Amino acid sequence: MPWPRATVGWPGVAEITVDGADVVVRLSALEKLGALRGDVRVPRSAVRECRVAENPWSELRGIRAPGTGWPGLISLCTRRGEGIRDFAAVYRNRPALVVELDGAEFNRLVVSVKDEAFAEEVAAHLASP
């Protein structure tokens, strides 16, 4: 199955791609500044589950540390809690792709997408071997 060629989100905002054996969340320059980090890269072999969330705000766990956040508007950060380390690039009321991981830098990626149909296409691609 070929990788979907559209960006996740919209121009200038986080996009998720497969680069060889890795899943990469590419951040714009402003997002890197807001998230206080560079692009996120995790092994595709670490993907345990991938699903679409209509309400990504309910998927956020822990506290923002470090990064940028304003409830209901933006969560662009590493989120931490007891035994939790997630990365979020969530914007307003956009649906999100939620990628559950094992043995990677993060336990979960939550990335806003342009629409649910595209998110489902990406989730199916990540779930395939």
Domain borders along the chain are: 15-127
Look at 128 and 9; give whichever has higher pLDDT. Answer: 128
Residues 42-100 have pLDDT tens digits of: 999 999 999 999 999 999 999 999 999 999 999 999 999 999 999 999 998 889 999 99
Residues 62, 7: Cα–Cα separation, whole Å: 27
Residues 62-71 have pLDDT tens digits of: 999 999 999 9
Residue 6 has pLDDT above 60, yes or no: no
**Cα atoms in the 13 Å half-sphere on the side-chain side of 43:** 6
Residues 113, 49: Cα–Cα separation, whole Å: 17
Contact 101, 87 (CB under 8 A): no
Phi, psi dihedrals of residue 57, rounded to the nearest 5°: -65, -30
pLDDT over 70 percentage in the chain: 89
Q: Is 86 helix (H, G, I), strand (E, B) or coil?
A: strand
Please tell me the predicted confidence (pLDDT) of residue 129: 66
